[in-house]
Each structure stands twice: as structure tokens, then as C-alpha cells.
Amino acid sequence: MTAFIARRLAWGVLLLLLVATLTFFLSRVVPADPAAFLAGQNTSAATVARIRAEYGLDRPLPVQFATYLGGLVRLDFGESLRTHRPVADDLVQFLPASLELLIVSFMIYVIASFWLAVAAARRPGGAVDTAIRLLTMLATGIPVFWLGMALQFVFFYRLHWLPLAGRFPLRDTPPPVHTGFLLADSLIAGSLDDVWKSLRCLAMPALTIVLNLLAVGTRLSRAALIAEFDRPYVRTARGKGLGPRAILYRHVLRNALSPVLTVTTMQFGYMLSWVILVEVIFGWPGIGLYAYQSFEVFDYAPVIALAIVSTAGFVLINLIMDLIYPLIDPRVRGLAT
Amino acid sequence: MRAPRAWRVAVLLTGTLLLPAGRAAADPSTFVYADAGEPSTIDPAKANVNFELTITRNVYDRLVDFDPSDPAHLLPALALLWTQDGDAWTFKLRQGVKFHDGQAFTSTDVKATLDRLLRIGQGQSYLVDDIASVTVIDPATIRITTRAPNVFLAGNLSRIEMSSADDINRHAQDADKGDAWFGEHANGTGPYSFVSWTRGSQIELRRNAGWWGAFPKGAFDRVIDRFVNDGATRARGLEGGEFDLANFVPRDDALRLGHSSGFHVIEGNNLWAWPAIYLNMHLAPTNNADFRDALVRAFDYGAMSQYFQTGNVIPRGPVPSWFPGSPEQQEPPITTDLAAAKDALAKSGEGGASMKCVIPSGFPEFSFAATVLQSSAARLGIKVSIEEAPFVQAITAIKQDHSNCFVLGNANLSPTDATKFFAAHYLKDGFYNSGRYDDPALDALVHRIPTIADQKERDGMLKAAFETVVQSHYIIWAARPTTVVPEPDRIAGYRIDPAEYINARFWEIHAAQ
Amino acid sequence: MILSVRDLRIRFGHAAAAPFAVDGLDFDVSAGEIFVIIGESGSGKSLTGLSVLGLLPQGAVASGSIRFDGQELLNQPEAVLRPLRGGRIGVVYQDPLSAMNPVWPVGEQIAEVLRAHGLAGRREAARRSVELLERVHIPDAPRIALAYPHEISGGMRQRAMIAMALACGPRMLIADEPTTALDVTIKAQILELLSELRRELALTVVLITHDMGVVAELADRILVMYAGKVAELGPAAQIMNRPSHPYTQALLFSATMSEAPAKADLPAIRGTAPPIEARPAGCRFHPRCPQAAADCREAAPNLRRLGDVLLACHYPLLNGDAARPGCAP
């Protein structure tokens, strides 16, 4: 098992190196002058040249790359031209916000798509199934920015139920930072009121992400469930005198878990890309918004760092999934080692 | 059988999440300003973009202020009196002023600030880049010497924020390129002090009760500068009451909102041209003066007026009529004249030419102007292709002759001096002189203007410079709309600054009585 | 009569034109006997078995009557059938690997029946599941109880399936092709087990199979099905020794042939059973029947009694031979 994990991690590191190299050189191909951006508008050519030298942007590309890789080993992702801060500091600042949004969305998504899939798979082609299919397709068909704005319109502008944007009501003081996760920090501060405020801020961005993925997730989970319902062991379970509830939860769901898990893992990847868009729409101060704003001004370092961090996230999630499969399905136990 | 129960749970959960928590009773002492972005720096020596200036303008003071409704009228600020004697200006400083950290403000602070500003050479330094030296006479007196006499220096200093010599000395020793501390800390003498910066979200300011100036009744104790990148979101938040005021609300929203109930419109001048189309003086076919003449005359100015709906005038040249000493009213109007345009085109010998425009992305006004140019040129049989690119990329494209035109919005940050604007836009090596207009006579003329003591003579020279630029057909000044700011009725005191593209003077804003 | 089936008809869908997969079946099963239903695939034998406990696949519509101990079972609500399933009637399926849930240990799947019928708590059920495994002669039962289905042999799995069916002490066992996936020796062991259980537990067994060889020494009575109808029904000894229906005879020939390929000159069964939607008019067996005559093509034979045997054939075999001299070879 240890050998398996070690092998997977080694591949992960190799992949990261590849991503770092690729994004570094890709970003340098973009015809923009970061020094000019740093200098700002209405500055003289001399100032731009001075800044170029200060940031080492005048050195040959291989040298810059070597410096960059050397930094990466120490988890130094370089400095952001836009925020004038080390990218690593910025990531520490913004990553928890994104993870919090991602985790909450993912949990809602898993539960919601599972519920819907179960309801739909109960009677394939029935009224409930058709209604669920139509509604989820509708939600997914709406472009994510439009959906986000529509939610803002309804829940903020019309009903005044939820805040427009951001992680915390803007007039209020958030709890002291311990973890960077507002929900956790609110709990540490012992303030249920702050938990509540954070949740209300989370509601619309999370809903936007979930609604956009729901159709695919529900459809795939539904297919997995229907396939399981047709398996002979389900007939056996009925023949044993089990009720529909026991058949669903003890038998079908347990078996459908592996395919559903596979689907959900893939969805997690999509979710990462939606997070960027949703963060921009809802002014959610996470790495998505950070990377987007950096990208807009050709600030390379944060963009590369985000690519590396999200790749690392992928590697990690896939590893975790590989470790979870044997727990769910005894048939693949022992295969991993 | 079981699903309905699950549904009930789901509905209940969602329902409680949405329960109206009672609209958070808006804290009457807090003012929330929806700004157009997050500052890259709040260093007054580097701040450049209006959402950076929002912070520096309110945290730091300047030596001199001006009256936004009469920019030629300078007002005392950190300096009480100032006199010019040839190339030397002497400023008598206000006594008893303290920085937010409690240190007293003296002439050494002015010297340290200006020295640092000129060393760095970024931000607003171009407004005072002719300063030769700064001399401390006594704690309350400072002498500033310019390379040549400059009548505009005092006015231009109204844009230069004073930081503390103590901070500069302390932090310039750092190995962080000398200035990183100023990027995220602020210690000024201004009406508001810097409290905190929540990265990605907002900056909080607190009213400086010990400020030397007077606050209006109902001034806000706490200001939150919220970063909201998307204009439509700023508009929606303003409309929904989440924000008390917003920077740069898209014009459609601003007009609609300003005329809806609970809001009123603040309208004023601060734009010199919005947008202005710069033509490349070195790349065919726009290197041909008659060809440029044809484009200027063919351009459909009416379409731009329609686009802006209200408050738009067609510029007659580079300097707006409301600017002190502007010759614009005496100049002939620029109008669409297709026949004249065709004559000019025929004279140019460039009939049937095609050209490429790389314009900065993200500004609907720019895209629209480019489209109008495209359709206007099409009527002359000229093909214009349009590309959008980020600002730096777009300006690089035209400077490197990959593009025939470029679009820009023009404003001038000096309340009285047009020459810095000319230097940046029309003189050799000017940053915004993207089409590389190069006329040594104009350079000499513009550089001489500040040295002339007599205002009439200066005005005459500005008129000559104005006409030179117009006659070169370097620029198509597509429109000059007024700036429209929707202000909620519960707020009062916002004034449009004629020497800034949208800026909030928090110390003048207050709750409506 | 522990089980009596009357005019059982099963088809897929409600459309009037939909053909019946099981087409008017009548039979009775006496307590304590081993009753074998035999037929090729598509004969409707498995559907018949499944219909007893309402386990028909989705879309199947059944009519008629199935009474167990006098209680009507056909088209009864789940609440009526559920206590019977695994309770008074146990079911054993073919291919125990797929018929068992791959993610639960074998013992747990047996214990589940006891718990579902409220016969034991968690711990008691686990203990009893080991006993049940021992009852079906599984060696090292405590260890096997903790194993997953894929970890034990096919024969072991089928024994475990039987243990599962026996868990609640049923009066009747429906075994649907219980030996199909097994090799010959294991097959014999399983059949021996069934016979032993019948003997010792006074169990009624309904055994569904396509394999005459399986039933030879086990069956008390045999129902031969062809294309959804009864071909022949009667005491095992008589049907095995003196089949009256040409189809039964053909089945017997096939069985002996597969065991003794040397006798290849014996007439084997021709062709394949017709698909349900393309059944011929008249006697459904006639296209494959060596004795078929003109009236076989026109009129379906009625079920009639011939000694101890019920038979549906215009020209039954007498003493294993054709009834019609003209057709004799």
C-alpha cells in the first residue's frame, strides 16, 4: 500500500513539474510587458527599464525559469505584480475562501444529485424522473454568469434575503482569522451568528455552482442506480422479503457508490473551473478571483501557481479516491497493493 | 414513499437559509463605497488608478487644494500661503497638523515626500517632474525650485499627497525595493485614517477626528471601500442599498438609477474626451494627413451622441471649454461632413485602403467608438478591422506599428495645467502618445507655456497648441459626455472632480439631513 | 395441495395483442414433493416460478390465480407478499455470484433475512447464519460467513444461497436453475442437498430447470413446458420412462445424448424454440415435431388425461413410440 501511494505521489510530482514548465513558458509567450504594467501609466521608459531589472525580467528566459523552479522547491511561487506580495502569501490568504466554497458546494451537490437520482431512478421515465430531468437540464443550460446574476436579482435585489456578494456582510466585522475558513473561524470564535452570516453569503455562489452541475451529476448517478436496480442481487433481496427502503439503502446504494464516486470525482474537476467564474460574479475573495484578476493584467506568477495548486489538488483527490474505492467495494480490495 | 420526507427537509433547509434576517439595519455611521477594483498599491507615490486614488486622496493631504466647481481657484490645505519667484516657489505650511500616528507634520515631510516621488518616477510624479530641488527653510517653510519657472506648480501639487519623512526613512531601509511598506500601509494627515485591508474584499477607513479641516454635519465615521470589479454588480448593489455610492456605474445604469425614486443625478464635467481615437502617424494609411482628415470628417459624431443619450458634446479639440483658459469656444466645431471627407480621401490617394485598430478591451464605449469608425470609414470605401486587447498590449501594438489606431479616454489630473496632458498625449515620448505624433515646434511651444507669467499670453499659446493638434488630424475626439453619478437621496455631498476621472472625496460626503 | 396454479397467464405490457409468455398454466404441487418444471429457455418456466412471489421483472403482467396454502398470491400488494418471501417460501436462483450482493459478507446476507422477518436481533442473526451454513454442509462456516461472495467457490455460493432461502424455515423452496452454472460433481452435490433437505425438513421443492439429467432421480412429479403451455404433466417415473409427448421424448434424448455422445443416431430435438412473438398456429411444437400431421398445424391440442399423465398432443407416443402407424419409421 505504501509503495502504491509512493508511486502515485511520484507521478504526481512529475505531473506538477510538467504543468509548471508548460505554464511558465506559455505565460512568457504572451506578448505583454509585466514591467510596463508594474510601472503603471504615464511613466517614462527609464522607470520601466529600472523596474524590469528590479524584478529580474531582463534576464534570459532559462535563467528566469531556473530561478522560478528553485523557488518552487521552497514553495516560493514568486511575487505577484498586481498585489506586490509573494504569491504564496496570497494563496494562503485566498485558498481557504475557495476551499470553503468548494467543499460546501460539493457537499450540497453530492447530497442533492443523489437525492434527485434516487427519486428519478425509482420509476425511470415516470413523471418525477421527467420533471427532474427537465429542471436540472434547465438549470445547467443557463450560462453560469447569467444564473448567478439571476439569483442576485431575485434574492438580493427583489427579496433582500441574501447579501449581494462577498464572503461576509460587508458592514460587519468577521471573526478573527485562525483557519481562514469563515465557518470554522466563526465556530472557534463561538459565534453562531457569524456562522449564520457566512452561510447566507455562501448560499448564492454555492447554489450557482450546484445548479450548473446538477443535471450531469443527477443523470449519471441515476444511470448508475438504474443499472444497479437491474442486477440479479436486487431480485434476490426482494425474494428475501426486504422492503424497498432496505433494498435501496443497504443494497443498491452501496453498489452504486463506486460509479457515483467516479462521476463525482470528475465533477469535482468541473467544479474547480466553475469556481473561478462564480467567484468573479459574486466577488468571492478566493483563488479564482485572484487568478482571474491576475490574468487580466498578465500577472503570470499567480496564474502558474494556481495551475500548480489545482493540479496538486487533482492528484490528491484522485489518490484519496483510489484509497476509498476498496473501502466501498470489497472486490477491488487488494488490487491496489 | 420516503422521497417526500427528504424533500420536506430540503425545502425547510433552503427556507431557513433564505429567511429574511431583517435587512441588516444599515449602520448610519458607516459609508460603503463600491469601488471599481482592488488597489494594487496604496502608496501615494505609485497610486495611479482611480480606485487606488480613492484611498490615497482620503488618507493623505496635499499642500494645496482646489475648488471642484472652480478649479482655477486654489485653496489652502497643508500649505496656507504660497508665492512664486521665478523658478522658486515658497510654501508656508499649516501648523499643528499631525499624522495619524501622532507625529507632527513639518517641512521635512514635504521634502522627503517629493524626493521619494521623483526617485520612484511613478504615479502622479509626472505632474511635478520638473522639480529640480526641494529645500527646507524652516519647519514651517519649504522652497521648491523648478528647472524653469512654472506657474502651474502650486496647482499641480494639489495632486501630490504628503507622507511622513519618518515612515520614508524607516521603511526605505528595507531590502524590499525600498517601498513595499507603503504599498499596504498608510499614514497620512488626511480626513480619514487607514484601518484595515481585507485582501480581495475591502479596505476600511476611520474618520480622523483630529483633522485640520472641517467635516460637514452627518459625515461618516467609518468608510468601507469595497472592491467590486463588475460595473453591473456595482449598479445592482447601489440600487439594492448594499452600497451607499459607487465608482464608475455604467452609463445606462447610472441614468436609469439616477432618475429612479430614492436617487438623484449628480452630473458634471471631468472628461476631456471619451473616447478619443488615436491614429498612427507612422503606419500607412494613417501616416497620411489627408487620409486622417478624411477619417475625422467622416466620423459619425451623431452616433456617439445618441449612444451617450445625454450631456454629450462633440469636442472641437484637445482641451474642453470648461477648462481654465480653454480656447475651444473660439474654434470651429468638428462635424460629420462626408463630402469633405471624400475630397480629403481623394487628395490622400489612399482610396480603398484598409486599416487595423487594436483597442483596449473592457470598455463598451471604446468598442462602440471603434465600430462607429468602422461604419463611417466604410462609407468612404475604407475597411477597418477591430481587435480588442488588454490595455498594455493594445498600446504596445500601436507603438510598435502593428495597429493603425488606438482608443483612449482622456482626463487631465491637473486642475489648471494643460501642458502635462499635452506632454503625455501629443509630445515626443509621451506615454499616451500612442500614434507617435512628433512635432518639435509643438514640443517647444508647450514646454514654454508654464514659464510665461502673463495669463493672456499663456492662453494664446494654448490656443496655438490646440489648433496645431487639431490640424494634424492625429485624433478623432469622438465624444465628451458629462459624468453621471447616481446618488441615493439618503446621501449628500458628492461632487464631481473636474481634474479626475471619478473620485470620491469622503470628507465632503455626508448623510442627507 | 400446498400450491395451486390456475390459468396463469403472463405477458409483457397490457396491449391486447401482446403474446403471452406463459399462456394458461394449471398445476398443483403437493406438500413435501419435489416438483420439477422443465423446458427450454423461453418456455416460461422461470416466469412461472418468479410469479409465485411476485418477483416478475418490471413490465410483466400476470393474470389467473396462484394459491399457496389456500392464500391467493397473484397480484397481491407487497405488504402481503413480503412476509412470504424468504419467510414461508424461500427462493434459490441460478448464478449465485450475481444473485448475491457483492459488497456484503455471505453471513451478513443470510442474517439479513432473519432480521428482515423479525426472527432475530443482530447478534442472534449472525450466530444463526453460521448454523445455517453448517446445515448446508459448508465446512469452516464461521470463516465463510465473513467472506464476500467473490471469495468463495461456486458450489459454496450456491449452498450459501440455499442457506439464505432456508433461514426462516420455509415450507416451500423455489429453486430456479440452481445448478446451471456448476460443474457436474458440484451439481450432483447440490441436488443431493436439496433432496436431503426435502427429506429432513419436509420441504416442498419447486425445481425449475432445462436439464432432464438433473431431475432423473430427484423429481416426484414433472411439468414439461413448451412455449408457455403445459406439454406434459405427470409422475416423474412415468414421464422419464415412457414420455407421451414427442417434446418430452426429444428432451430425454438430448439429455442422454449429452451424456453419451456415442448414441448420436438417436433422434435429437430439431431447431430451436420459437421466439414468443413468432409462435406458430396450431400445436406450437409442430415445426420441430417429427410426428407432426396436418391437424397439428391447424388446431392447438387440448390438455387431456392419459392415465396418470396430463398431455397436450394430438398424437401422443405410446410406450415411447409414435401413436400414428403411418409415421413410424
ipTM of the complex: 0.83
pLDDT digits (tens, 9 = 90+) for B211-238: 999 999 999 999 999 999 888 889 989 9
pLDDT at B3: 46
Q: How far is A83 from chain C (nearest CA, A)?
A: 53
At residue A165, φ and ψ (nearest 5 deg) are: -160, 175
The answer to whether C98 contacts A233, with C-beta atoms less than 8 Å apart, is yes
Distances (CA, A) of B335 to A206, B313, B407, C27, C108: 53, 11, 19, 104, 91
Confidence of residue C327 (pLDDT cuts 50, 70, 90): very low
In a domain, A125, yes or no: yes
Are B139 and B248 found together in one domain?
A: no
Q: Is the pLDDT of residue B509 over 50?
A: yes
The answer to whether A200 contacts B21, with C-beta atoms less than 8 Å apart, is yes
Q: Is the pLDDT of residue A208 over 70?
A: yes
Q: Cα(B77)–Cα(B190) distance, rounded to whole angstroms?
A: 10
In a domain, A30, yes or no: no
Give just the sign of the alpha carbon dihedral B400, B403, B405, B407: negative
In a domain, A31, yes or no: no
Q: Is the pLDDT of residue A14 over 70?
A: yes
Q: How far is C109 from chain A (nearest CA, A)?
A: 9
Q: Cα(C70)–Cα(C67) distance, rounded to whole angstroms?
A: 5
CATH code: domain of residue B34 = 3.40.190.10
The answer to whether A240 contacts C102, with C-beta atoms less than 8 Å apart, is no
Say if CB B323 and CB B315 are below 8 A apart: no
pLDDT at A148: 87
Q: Is the pLDDT of residue B25 over 60?
A: no
Q: Is the pLDDT of residue B425 over 70?
A: yes
Q: Cα(C140)–Cα(C107) distance, rounded to whole angstroms?
A: 12
User: Grid coordinates representing A200?
Assistant: 447566507
The mean pLDDT value for B14-36 works out to 66
User: Count of CB contacts below 8 A, A vs C?
Assistant: 74
pLDDT at B459: 95
Are B236 and B305 found together in one domain?
A: no
Which one-letter amino acid corresponds to residue A244? Answer: P
pLDDT digits (tens, 9 = 90+) for A46-97: 888 888 888 888 888 889 888 888 888 888 888 888 888 899 999 999 999 9
Poorest-pLDDT segment among B155-159, B243-247, C56-60:
C56-60
In a domain, B471, yes or no: yes
User: Grid coordinates representing A83?
Assistant: 498585489
Say if CB B299 and CB B372 are below 8 A apart: yes
Q: For residue C78, what is the nearest residue in chain A, using CA coordinates?
A: A243
Q: Is the pLDDT of residue C275 over 60?
A: yes
Q: Cα(B232)–Cα(B213) distance, rounded to whole angstroms?
A: 35
pLDDT digits (tens, 9 = 90+) for B256-287: 999 999 999 999 999 999 999 999 999 999 99
Q: Cα(B68)–Cα(B74) distance, rounded to whole angstroms?
A: 10
Chains that touch B (3 or more CB pairs under 8 A): A
In a domain, B242, yes or no: yes
Say if CB B145 and CB B136 are below 8 A apart: no
pLDDT at C40: 85
Q: Is the pLDDT of residue B97 over 80?
A: yes
Confidence of residue B20 (pLDDT cuts 50, 70, 90): very low
The mean pLDDT value for C8-23 works out to 86
Say if CB C287 and CB C247 are below 8 A apart: no
Are B340 and B235 found together in one domain?
A: no
Q: Is the pLDDT of residue B27 over 80?
A: no
pLDDT at C265: 42
Are B491 and B467 found together in one domain?
A: no
- Report helix, strand and coil shares of chain B as percent, to nearest 5: 35, 25, 40
Question: Prior bond to B488 cis, omega within 30?
Answer: no
**Domains in chain A: how many in total?**
1
**Residue A273: domain span:** 97-288
The answer to whether B432 contacts A157, with C-beta atoms less than 8 Å apart, is no
Which one-letter amino acid corresponds to residue B18? Answer: L
The answer to whether C93 contacts A254, with C-beta atoms less than 8 Å apart, is no
Q: How far is C55 from chain A (nearest CA, A)?
A: 7
Poorest-pLDDT segment among B303-312, C14-23, C110-119:
C14-23
Provide the pairing of β-strand B30-35 with B222-227: parallel
Q: How far is A333 from chain B (nearest CA, A)?
A: 33
Q: Is the pLDDT of residue C322 over 70?
A: no
Enumerate the residues of chain B whose CB falls inside 8 A of the CB of residue A174: 198
Give just the sign of the alpha carbon dihedral A278, A281, A283, A289: positive
Are B476 and B494 found together in one domain?
A: no
In a domain, B317, yes or no: yes
pLDDT at A328: 80
Q: For residue A122, what is the nearest residue in chain C, using CA coordinates?
A: C58
Q: How far is A274 from chain B (nearest CA, A)?
A: 17
For chain C, the average pLDDT equals 85
Report chain A's terminal Cα–Cα distance, integer Å.
5
Q: Do chains A and B touch (3 or more CB pairs under 8 A)?
A: yes
The answer to whether B26 contacts A171, with C-beta atoms less than 8 Å apart, is yes
- Quick one: angle between helices B3-18 and A192-229, nearest 10? 150
Q: Cα(C247)–Cα(A315) distance, rounded to whole angstroms?
A: 63
Are B357 and B471 found together in one domain?
A: yes
Enumerate the residues of chain A whose CB falls inside 8 A of the CB of residue B23: 160
Report chain C's terminal Cα–Cα distance, integer Å.
42
Closest C-alpha among B59, B63, B45 to residue B143: B63
Q: Which residue has the cell 472592491?
A: B227
pLDDT at B15: 55
Q: Cα(B346)–Cα(C189) distance, rounded to whole angstroms?
A: 107
Burial C162-200 (b: 16+ CB within 10 A, else e): bbbbbbbebbbbbbbbbbebbeeebbebbbebbbebbee
Q: Cα(A268)–Cα(A98) distance, rounded to whole angstroms?
A: 13
The mean pLDDT value for C290-316 works out to 86
At residue B310, φ and ψ (nearest 5 deg) are: -150, 155
pLDDT digits (tens, 9 = 90+) for C30-72: 998 999 999 888 888 889 988 998 888 888 899 999 999 989 9
Q: Is the pLDDT of residue A171 over 90?
A: no
Q: Is the pLDDT of residue A100 over 50?
A: yes
- At A184, is the secondary structure helix, strand, or coil? helix
Q: Is the pLDDT of residue B45 over 70?
A: yes
Q: Cα(C149)–Cα(C99) distance, rounded to whole angstroms?
A: 10
Confidence of residue B506 (pLDDT cuts 50, 70, 90): very high
Enumerate the residues of chain B whose CB falls inside 8 A of the CB of residue A194: none
Q: For residue A124, what is the nearest residue in chain C, using CA coordinates?
A: C58
A104-107 long-range contacts (CB < 8 A, ≥24 apart) are A104/A183, A104/A202, A104/A206, A105/A205, A105/A206, A105/A209, A105/A210, A105/A271, A105/A275, A106/A268, A106/A271
At residue B143, φ and ψ (nearest 5 deg) are: -115, 130
**Residue B106: domain span:** 61-170
B1 touches chain A (CB under 8 A): yes
pLDDT at B400: 93
The answer to whether A43 contacts B239, with C-beta atoms less than 8 Å apart, is no
Are B391 and B287 found together in one domain?
A: yes
Q: Is the pLDDT of residue A292 over 90?
A: no
Enumerate the residues of chain B whose CB falls inside 8 A of the CB of residue A109: none
CB proximity under 8 Å: A 256-275 to B:
none
Enumerate the residues of chain B whose CB falls inside 8 A of the CB of residue A50: 121
Q: Which of A32, A165, A170 sits opposite B390 (nearest CB)?
A: A32
Q: Do chains B and C touch (3 or more CB pairs under 8 A)?
A: no
Are B328 and B423 found together in one domain?
A: yes
In a domain, A238, yes or no: yes
CB proximity under 8 Å: B 193-222 to A:
198-202
DSSP result, C166-180: HTT--SEEEEESTTT
pLDDT at B330: 94
In a domain, B178, yes or no: no
The mean pLDDT value for C261-275 works out to 58
Q: Cα(B355)–Cα(B403) distance, rounded to whole angstroms?
A: 8
Say if CB C194 and CB C205 are below 8 A apart: yes
Give just the sign of the alpha carbon dihedral B323, B328, B329, B330: positive
Enumerate the residues of chain A whose CB falls inside 8 A of the CB of residue C84: 241
Which one-letter amino acid corresponds to residue C154? Answer: G
In a domain, B392, yes or no: yes
How many C-beta atoms lie closer than 10 Å to residue B28's C-beta? 11
In a domain, A59, yes or no: no
pLDDT digits (tens, 9 = 90+) for B394-409: 998 999 999 999 999 9
pLDDT at B49: 87
Q: For residue A279, what is the nearest residue in chain B, using CA coordinates?
A: B200
Q: Is the pLDDT of residue B193 over 50?
A: yes
B19 touches chain A (CB under 8 A): yes
Enumerate the residues of chain B whose CB falls inside 8 A of the CB of residue A54: 177
Q: How far is A111 from chain C (nearest CA, A)?
A: 22
The mean pLDDT value for A33-37 works out to 78
Q: Which of B41, B230, B393 sits opposite A31 (nearest CB)?
A: B393
Q: Is the pLDDT of residue B378 over 90?
A: yes
Enumerate the residues of chain B whose CB falls inside 8 A of the CB of residue A153: 236
Q: For residue C49, what is the nearest residue in chain A, using CA coordinates?
A: A239
The answer to whether A283 contacts B228, with C-beta atoms less than 8 Å apart, is yes
How many C-beta atoms lie closer than 10 Å to residue B144's C-beta? 25
Are B133 and B226 found together in one domain?
A: no
pLDDT digits (tens, 9 = 90+) for A232-280: 898 888 888 888 888 888 888 888 888 888 877 777 777 877 888 889 8
Provide the pairing of β-strand C204-209 with C34-38: parallel
Q: How far is B119 from chain A (nearest CA, A)?
A: 9
* Strand order, beta sheet including C60-68: C20-29, C3-12, C60-68, C71-72
Q: Which of C98, C113, C148 sits opposite A240 (nearest CB)?
A: C113
Q: Cα(B232)–Cα(A17) distance, rounded to whole angstroms?
A: 40
Q: Which residue has the cell 521648491?
A: B144
pLDDT at B22: 39
In a domain, A245, yes or no: yes
pLDDT at A110: 85
B227 bridge partner residues: B35
User: Count of CB contacts below 8 A, A vs B?
Assistant: 149
Residue C57, Cβ density class (10 Å: 0-12 exposed, 13-18 middle, ≥19 buried): exposed
Q: Which of C85, C102, C148 sits opposite A240 (nearest CB)?
A: C85
The answer to whether A232 contacts C98, with C-beta atoms less than 8 Å apart, is yes
Q: Is the pLDDT of residue C272 over 50?
A: yes
pLDDT at B452: 95
- At B63, is the secondary structure helix, strand, or coil? coil
The answer to whether A159 contacts B202, with C-beta atoms less than 8 Å apart, is no
Q: Which of A232, A241, A251 sits opposite C85 (nearest CB)?
A: A241
The answer to whether A83 contacts B17, with C-beta atoms less than 8 Å apart, is no
CATH code: domain of residue A121 = 1.10.3720.10
- At C125, is the secondary structure helix, strand, or coil? helix
Are B107 and B120 found together in one domain?
A: yes
Q: How far is C90 from chain A (nearest CA, A)?
A: 7
Are B320 and B455 found together in one domain?
A: yes
**Domains in chain B: how many in total?**
3
pLDDT at B8: 59
A243 touches chain B (CB under 8 A): no
H or E element in which residue B255 lies = helix B251-258
In a domain, A27, yes or no: no
Chains that touch A (3 or more CB pairs under 8 A): B, C
pLDDT at A238: 87
pLDDT at C323: 43
CATH code: domain of residue B139 = 3.90.76.10
- At A44, is the secondary structure helix, strand, or coil? coil
Highest mean pLDDT: which of A42-51, A136-145, C133-142? C133-142
pLDDT at C328: 33
Are B239 and B282 found together in one domain?
A: no
In a domain, A225, yes or no: yes
Q: Which of C85, C98, C164 sits opposite A231 (nearest CB)?
A: C98
Percent of chain B past pLDDT 90, that is, above it, reads 79
The answer to whether C116 contacts A254, with C-beta atoms less than 8 Å apart, is no
A308 touches chain B (CB under 8 A): no
Enumerate the residues of chain C whose CB falls inside 8 A of the CB of residue A237: 101
| pTM, rounded to two decimals | 0.78
pLDDT at B391: 86
The answer to whether A243 contacts C82, with C-beta atoms less than 8 Å apart, is yes
Q: For residue C150, what is the nearest residue in chain A, using CA coordinates?
A: A331
The answer to whether A236 contacts C93, with C-beta atoms less than 8 Å apart, is yes
